[in-house]
Each structure stands twice: as C-alpha cells, then as structure tokens.
Amino acid sequence: MGRKRDLKQVDAVCREFDLDAETELEFRDFLHECKESGDRGTANARGDFTMDELRTKAREFLGE
C-alpha cells in the first residue's frame, strides 16, 4: 500500500461521480469536517472512509 492512499481513493471516487475541480475541493473539506464532528469511517483507527463509505459520502454531499 502506498502513501496517501486515502487521498487517492477520494480522487478515484471524485472521478466516478464526475465532480468538477471546485466540487472536489469542497468534497475533501466535507469529508474532513465529517471526521472532525465524529462521523468517522471504518477503514482504520484514524476514522478514514472505505471506498464504499466514500461513495455513500459523495451521494450525501451531492444530495442524491
């Protein structure tokens, strides 16, 4: 596993959902704010999100 895999996973999900650059920037902030508020993922002890959780978060962020 490479470094910054969590960032790469977010990039991959942004591509799946065809997010433009500004929406992608805000989606990253949204994920960070979710973690800060206690809405954490299950990928690791840091509370990062799995790919499926990121897809769910993307739908939530986009209001789908």
Partner 1 sequence: MAGTVDLREVRESAAGDLDGLAGFAQQLVGQPFLFARPSYGDELTLHFGQLREPTSAKVKRPRGSFVLTLRGSVWQIDPGAGSNLVLSDTLTGTPLDLSALESHPPVTAGSLTVAVRPFADPESGGFGLYLAFSDQSRVVIRPDVSDLITEADPDLPRLADWELFTPHDRVLRVGPGANWSYTPLK
* The two structure tokens encoding residue 59: 């739908």
Least CB distance to partner 1 at residue 50 (A): 13
Q: Is 45 helix (H, G, I), strand (E, B) or coil?
A: coil
Residue 32 is a binding residue for partner 1 (CB under 8 A): yes
Residue choice 23, 40, 55, 56 for contact with partner 1 (CB under 8 A): 23
Residue choice 8, 39, 44, 52 for contact with partner 1 (CB under 8 A): 8
CA 31 to CA 33: how far, in whole Å? 5
Q: Do 28 and 5 form a contact (C-beta atoms < 8 A)?
A: no
Binding site for partner 1 (CB under 8 A): 1-12, 15, 20-23, 25-26, 28-33, 35, 48, 60-61
